[in-house]
Amino acid sequence: MTATVSGRTGPPTAAAPLGVAVLGYSFMGKAHSNAWRNVNAFYDSSAVAQRVLVGRDADRVAAAAGRYGWAGSATDWRSVLERDDIHIVDICTPGHLHAELAAAALEAGKHVLVEKPLANSVAEAELMAAAAERAAAGGTFAMVGFNYRRVPALALARQLIAEGRLGTLRQLRIAYLQDWLTDPAAPMTWRLRRETAGSGALGDLASHAVDQVHFLTGARVASVSAQLRTFVPERAGGTGPEPVTVDDAVWSTLQLDSGAVVSLEASRCATGRKNALQIEVYGSRGSLRFDLERLNELHYYDAGAPAALQGAARILVTEESHPYLAAWWPPGHTLGWDHTFTSQAADFLAAIAGGVQPEPSFADGLAVQRVLDAVERSAARAGAAVELPAGTHTTPQTAATAVEPHR
C-alpha cells in the first residue's frame, strides 16, 4: 500500500515537516503540546513542526505558546484552518465545541485529533463519524484521543488477551475513581455543567473505561444497566450557588456480545483515589489487573502455571519487548502519565504516514458515545437494561503499536 499524506508528495522531512495546530491551551492543551514537542525525539515519526497554539484569550494563549514551544499563537481558529503550513489540527477544547471544530478542520483537509470524549452527544458524534468517514476516503484522517490505549501496560494487556493467554473472557471489573469533588466546597467549573461538559464522571471518566472495554476485548456492548448520582447538587459559582447538572458518579453492568459481563463504575467523589483507573479482566485461563496510579505495572495471573506456583505476577512494563518501551528508557526507568500523549502522537503520525486509519477512530469514539447514552437511558429507567443494536461496532482493530521507536 502506498502511503500518501494529504496534499503532499512524499513523506514529510525535517525540512518539510507536518505543521501542527493545537486548539486549547489549558490542561489538555499543555499535555498535547508536550506530545508534539517530544514525539520526534523518541519515535521515528514524520517530522512535525509546532506551528500555532489557538485560544480565546490572546495574551494568555501567546504566553502559553511561548512556554510550550509553539512558533506562534492565534485566537481565530478559522484562519488557522486556512493556512497551508498546517496539516494536523489537534482539538483540546471543551466537548461542546468538538463537533464544529472537527468537521471544519476535516473539511479544510486537515488531519484531526480530538481529545476524548468524542462529543457531548450521540448526535454530534454521528455527525463527526460521518465527516471522518468522508475525509478518510480522500486520505485525510481523524482520531479520538483515548490516550490510555498508549499506556504500555494496557497495550500489553490487550496483546496478552489477543494471544489467548486469558482464555475465554468472562468478567471485567473496571472502576475509574477520582476524588476532586469529594469536598462540597470545591467550586463550579465548566466540567459540572451539562451544556459544556455533556455529562460528569460519565463522559470524563467512564468514557475512558468504555473505550478500554472495546480496546481490550474487541467485543461490543450489547446491553447496559446503570445508575447515576450527583452527591453534591449545588456548588459555589462565580455569582453564588449554582446547580450541578451532571453526575458525580456512575455505576453500570455491561453485557458484551462475546458473553462477558463488565461492571463499570466511575466517581469523582472516591475519597483518596486520585486517578485510579482500575481494570481487572478475568478469563477461563488467566486474569489481569491494572491501576493507572501505578501505570508502569501489569499484574498477570496464569492459571496454567503449576498449581503451587500460581500467583499474580507484577510485570514492570518497562522492558524493550513491551509495547512502546523501545522508544524510551532502559528497563526499570518508569514512564509518567504524560508519555501516553507522546506515544499517541506517534501512532497518529504513523497512521497518517502509512495512509491507514488511525485508531481509535471517530467511529470508535461514537461507539463509546452510544454506550454512555445507553447508561443515561438505563439510569432514567431505574436500571432497567437498555439494548444496544448490533452493527454499530468499532472499526476492526489491528496491532497495538505500529510505530517504530528509535533504536
Show the cell assigned to 340. Answer: 501516553
Q: Of 32, 33, 46, 149, which one interacts with a copy of itself (CB under 8 A)? A: 33
**Of the residues 330, 389, 391, 396, which one makes contact with a copy of itself according to CB under 8 A:** 330
Smallest gap from Cβ 368 to a copy of itself, in A, equals 21
Considering only residues 12, 19, 286, 365, which one is a binding residue for a copy of itself as defined by CB under 8 A? 286
How far CA 255 is from CA of 12, 13, 149, 286, 345, in Å, comes to 44, 47, 22, 20, 32
Q: Total residues at the site for a copy of itself (CB under 8 A)? A: 100
**Residue with Cβ nearer a copy of itself (267 or 361):** 267
What's the CA gap between 294 and 310, in Å, rounded?
22
Question: Nearer to a copy of itself by C-beta: 193 or 289?
Answer: 289
Question: Would you count residue 319 as binding a copy of itself (CB under 8 A)?
Answer: yes
Residues 6+ apart with CB under 8 A from 341: 31, 32, 34, 35, 145, 147, 150
Supply the DSSP symbol for 329: -
Query: In the set 218, 337, 356, 392, which binds a copy of itself (CB under 8 A)?
Result: 337
Q: Do 184 and 274 touch, CB atoms closer than 8 A?
A: no
With beta carbons less than 8 A apart as the criterion, state whether 226 and 217 touch.
Answer: no
Asked if 3 touches a copy of itself (CB under 8 A), the answer is: no
| Shortest distance, position 316 Cβ to a copy of itself, whole Å | 5
Among 334, 333, 341, residue whose Cα is nearest residue 295: 334
The nearer residue to a copy of itself, 7 or 243, going by C-beta atoms, is: 243
- Contacts with 73 (C-beta within 8 Å, 6 or more apart), sequence order: 52, 53, 54, 55, 58, 61, 62, 64, 65
CB of 383 to a copy of itself, least distance (A): 3
Q: From the CB of 235, what's the least distance to a copy of itself, in Å?
A: 14
Q: Does 369 bind a copy of itself (CB under 8 A)?
A: no
Does position 104 interact with a copy of itself (CB under 8 A)? The reply is no
Q: Does 222 bind a copy of itself (CB under 8 A)?
A: no
What is d(CA 26, CA 89) in angstroms, rounded to the nearest whole number?
A: 16
The residue from 338, 354, 392, 395 that contacts a copy of itself (CB under 8 A) is: 338
